Amino acid sequence: MFVLSSYAWAVVFCVVTMLCWGSWANTQKLAGRAWRFELFYWDYVLGVFLLSVLMAFTLGSIGSAGRGFLEDVAQADSGNMLSAFVGGVVFNIANILLVAAIAIAGMSVAFPVGIGLALVLGVVVNYLAAPVGNPVVLFLGVGLVAAAIVLDAAAYRKLPSQGRGLTTKGLVLSILCGVLMGFFYRFVADSMSTDFVNLEPGKLGPYSAVFFFSLGLLASNFVLNPIIMKKPFVGEPVAMSEYFKGSLGLHSIGVLGGLIWGVGMTFSIIASGQASFAISYGLGQGATMVAALWGVFIWKEFKEAPGSTGRLLTLMFLGYLAGLAMIIAARFN
């Protein structure tokens, strides 16, 4: 299978993860003009799963390092396959809760509470399980990124359309999302060998781990999404029959969104072999900065914001860049 041979390349892969995780939601925004999120989500999940299969039989089946995908699956312990599968289920619940929190409480609550909590918990949990890098530098970097997320939320709060009151329901959903989002990566990491070249017996390689993660995401969606469609957090119930009325273009947008997110997840897991799980996850969560860039420069989300918002956004981007630089540097100390 294909593996990385240097930390520098791992950083490049983590940057690709940031770009993918921060960009996939553009497909939801495009489809959302004529397509409910619950319907879009079926295609998104399918896209993630298809990407994992594609990667497994291409990058996961070439080269001399480790084990090929099919060989890796054949020797894997059922407990490790289940751990990666559970990671997909946990992520699915967290992702749905995040969207619900945004709909109820707005970006100004959902992102600092949900994604900020996920960032801190995810790095702490993964570092404690596999302590690689300088903890002081790493957690200072995490603190700067968390502060940047708060500044991003403060900027969103200045938008006229984001002036909603903080509801208990929205806050609770944000907290639940953050906790689950902070732990899903650990389930996948626990299923994997820490050495990708000489894989441990019974453990999964990176491509097999992503495959079982995606399988958990896909399977759990047949339970979770019908419930959300019948009892949505916001809006009227939507019938499954509406999904089959969608055009090929609408379905393609959803699948594309899943493919983009799946590339990010796969690259993050591949990078963890050189970067460590904590650093790989922490860098990937810089996706919020990428999403903010899309919102500012492409979707013009801040065109109605007061002039003082520009200073907040500038500080936010500077905080992100400084924090991400420290997370990268933590591996060298």
What is the chain's pLDDT, residue by residue, as a tens digit (333 residues)?
A: 999 999 999 999 999 999 999 899 889 889 988 899 899 999 999 999 999 999 999 999 999 899 999 999 999 999 999 999 999 999 999 999 988 887 777 666 677 778 888 988 999 999 999 999 999 999 999 999 989 888 888 887 787 765 554 567 888 888 999 999 999 999 999 999 999 999 999 999 999 999 999 999 999 999 999 999 999 988 899 999 999 999 999 999 999 999 999 999 999 999 999 999 999 999 998 888 888 888 888 888 788 888 888 999 999 999 999 999 999 999 986
**238 within domain boundaries:** yes
Q: What are phi and psi of 204, to 5 degrees?
A: -90, 150
**Looking at the 3D structure of the chain, how many domains does it have?**
1
Q: Which of 21, 79, 76 is nearest to 48 (CA)?
A: 21
**100 within domain boundaries:** yes
pTM of the shown model: 0.93
Residues in Cβ contact with 213 at an 8 Å cutoff, skipping those fewer than 6 apart: 52, 84, 85, 87, 88, 91, 188, 265
**1 within domain boundaries:** no
**68 within domain boundaries:** yes
- What is the SS3 assignment for the chain? CCCCCCHHHHHHHHHHHHHHHHHCHHHHHHHCCCCCHHHHHHHHHHHHHHHHHHHHHCHHHCCCCCCCHHHHHHHCCHHHHHHHHHHHHHHHHHHHHHHHHHHHHCHHHHHHHHHHHHHHHHHHHHHHHCCCCCHHHHHHHHHHHHHHHHHHHHHHHCCHHHCCCCCHHHHHHHHHHHHHHHHHHHHHHHCECCCCCCCCCCCECHHHHHHHHHHHHHHHHHHHHHHHHHCCCCCCCCCHHHHHHCCHHHHHHHHHHHHHHHHHHHHHHHHHHHHCHHHHHHHHCCHHHHHHHHHHHHCCCCCCCCCCHHHHHHHHHHHHHHHHHHHHHHHHC
Q: How far apart are CA 243 and CA 80, in angstroms?
A: 34
- Domain holding 309, by residue range, is 7-332
278 with 68: CB under 8 angstroms? no
